[in-house]
Amino acid sequence: MYYWNDLAEVPAGIGPTVVTIGNFDGVHLGHQHVLDRLVKVARAKDAAAVAISFDPHPAQIHRPEAAPELIMGPQDRREALAATGLDGLLMMHYDLQLASLTPEEFVRRVFVDGLHVCAVVIGHDVRFGRGNAGDLQTMRDLGAQLGFEVQAVEDFGALPDGSDAGGRRCSSTWIREALRSGDVRTAARLLGRTHRMRGEVVHGAARGRELGFPTANLAPESTGLIPADGIYAGWMVDAAGTRWPAAISVGSNPTFDGVSRQVEAHVIDRPDEKITDFNLYGQQVVVEFVERLRGMVAYTGPAALIEQMRLDVARTRDVLSTDSSADR
């Protein structure tokens, strides 16, 4: 997949293209539904399939105090979009100058002059242009005027298990709600994959090591929405791409009067369990959340905590033994 940070980086000879537009936070099943149609239409027209997105999220510019937490960071969004079969991704810098373009100015400049569009594939709820004045009908009118086809994609309702999601549309809002409540199973169903965080492993208080359960602590600036406090079964992927089963702690460690919120992963069942130089410091790792085991609890002392951690590791092992993502 070609990746462009600015319209000026798009090759002059590109085209024809089939284009879609969106924030794509999470690249969830609803997004994938639109992108799958985009790629199919592009292949049928012998054109390039191109998605347009924005960084930062428009809400961070217009109403930063109410901007949503992002489900995924830029690297994971880019990788997830590439996995859909796109030929190109144009990640436009979003600022007030871009936001000031009318719907027609935006479509002419980006779709027509920049990408030489022959077709647009969008959802029924699309909004674009100054003040979000443009909608599906606006795009259809501009298509008729400027010479490109417009295909609207119905909302994605059914989930992989065949359920209809209770009539609720698959959305980034729903995924955020699930993660904030610790329901990483529902989040995974909507995403089509396990939720993940990505960040550098940094030094912590080393309490886990002292208790016999050393952890890899993610840096505070790690990307990906932090789920609700608690203990999770999941995976940690190291810089070499090895996926390790892990018991993951999210919270401030109330047993030791913790203050700052941390995400830390204890790798279990390593072949070299007795070797103490399993050094991940400074590595960029990915932590994947499969299932929430319990909430965060303050214990009476280290002995009670150690016993609970042993139980958590055993439950993690059981959960991951049947996890469908284990063979990825």
Q: Are 265 and 214 in contact (CB under 8 A)?
A: no
Q: How many CB atoms lie within 10 A of CB 212?
A: 10
Question: What is the model's pTM?
Answer: 0.89
The pLDDT score that the predictor gives to residue 256 is: 45
Report the alpha-carbon distance of residue 47 to residue 310 in Å, rounded. 55
Using pLDDT thresholds of 50, 70 and 90, give the confidence band for residue 80. very high
Mean local confidence (pLDDT), 151-155: 90
Sign of the CA dihedral running 183, 187, 188, 193: negative
Q: Are 61 and 68 in contact (CB under 8 A)?
A: no
Report the alpha-carbon distance of residue 164 to residue 157 in Å, rounded. 6
pLDDT digits (tens, 9 = 90+) for 209-254: 555 678 889 999 999 999 999 999 999 999 999 999 999 999 876 5
Query: Percentage of the chain surpassing pLDDT 70?
Result: 87
For residues 151 and 210, which has the higher predicted lDDT (pLDDT)?
A: 151
Q: Are 215 and 204 in contact (CB under 8 A)?
A: yes
pLDDT digits (tens, 9 = 90+) for 18-36: 999 999 999 999 999 999 9
Output 302-310 pairs: Cβ under 8 A, ≥24 positions apart.
302/211, 302/255, 305/211, 305/255, 306/211, 306/212, 306/213, 309/211, 309/213, 309/247, 309/266
Rama region for 310: left / alpha / beta (φ>0; ψ in -120 to 50; rest): alpha
Nearest CA-CA partner of 186 in 203, 167, 171: 171
Mean local confidence (pLDDT), 295-316: 84
In this model, does residue 90 exceed pLDDT 90? yes
The pLDDT score that the predictor gives to residue 138 is: 98
Query: Percentage of the chain surpassing pLDDT 90?
Result: 75
For residues 103 and 156, which has the higher predicted lDDT (pLDDT)?
A: 103
Lowest mean pLDDT of 66-75, 133-142, 270-279, name the range. 270-279
Using pLDDT thresholds of 50, 70 and 90, give the confidence band for residue 75. very high
Mean local confidence (pLDDT), 114-132: 96
Q: Is 149 exposed, middle or buried (0-12, 13-18, 19+ CB in 10 A)?
A: middle
The pLDDT score that the predictor gives to residue 260 is: 66
